[in-house]
Amino acid sequence: DAMVIQNPRYQVTQFGKPVTLSCSQTLNHNVMYWYQQKSSQAPKLLFHYYDKDFNNEADTPDNFQSRRPNTSFCFLDIRSPGLGDAAMYLCATSRGGQGNYEQYFGPGTRLTVT
Amino acid sequence: GNSVTQMEGPVTLSEEAFLTINCTYTATGYPSLFWYVQYPGEGLQLLLKATKADDKGSNKGFEATYRKETTSFHLEKGSVQVSDSAVYFCALSDRGGSYIPTFGRGTSLIVHP
C-alpha cells in the first residue's frame, strides 16, 4: 500500500546529542511537511518542502533543520535537543498543485530527551 | 488570516449516543474543509472532506456538511462506539494557493461502554 513511513517510531536521545528522524513516502507527492506535536495540542508546522523548495516557519528554532535528498525521503535533524523538544514528530505529504491539499500523515516518531 | 475554532473537549459519551463536534472557520478565500482523526500514539488520518458549499463528507458513519452561510463544518455520528475514542481535528486548506492547512485545536472524544 502507498503510504508515509516514519522511522524510528520511538527515539530516545540525550540532552544535546544530535538526532535524525526520517520519513519516506510512496505516494510520489510533491509536498512534504514536518510537524511537532506535544501532548493534547494540535500539530505545529516546523517546515515544508514543495519539491526541492524549502519553507521554514518563522518561529521554528534554528536547532531544527531538514533535508530532502529526493522526492521520496525527508529528514528532520535536531542539532542539540533540549528537554523541551520531547514530542511526537509527524511527517505528512500532499499532492500540491491545484486541488484539495489533503494531507497524508505518517505514524509519527515519539522523541524522548533524557 | 485563516482560523479554525473547535469546541473544547473532552466530549464524554456512552456507547450508541449521538455525537456532534462543532467546528467553525474563517478564511480569506474559498477553502476545502477536512476532519482528521488521531488515535492514541498514532498520526492523523483523514476522516472526511468537503470541497464546496453544501457538500457532505462522510466516512465510517461520520458526516459533516460544508455550510458556507454559517462558516461551519460540524462533525456528527448517529451512534458512537468505544473504538471511536480519539482526538478529532477540523482543518481547512485555502485553495487559493497556500499548501499549509490550518488546524483547529482538536477535540478529544471518550466513549464509555
Taking the CA of residue A24 and the nearest CA in chain B, the distance in Å comes to: 14
Judge whether residue A89 has pLDDT over 80.
yes
Report the percent of chain A where pLDDT is more than 90: 89
CB pair distance less than 8 Å for B93 and A100: yes
pLDDT for position B23: 97
Inter-chain touch B93–A101, beta carbons under 8 Å: yes
Is residue B24 within 8 A of residue B72, CB to CB? The reply is yes
The predicted pLDDT at position B8 comes to: 86
Q: What is the DSSP string of B55-112?
A: -EEEETTEEEE-BTTTTB--EEESS--GGG-EEEEEEEEETTT----EE---EEEEEE
**Ranges of residues in chain B whose predicted pLDDT is under 50:** none
Cα–Cα dist A92/A90, whole Å: 7
Q: Do A42 and B100 touch (CB under 8 A)?
A: no
Give the one of B32, B43, B106 whose C-beta lies nearest to A107's C-beta: B43
Residues A51-64 have a mean pLDDT of 93
Assess whether the previous peptide bond of B10 is cis (omega < 30° from 0). Answer: yes
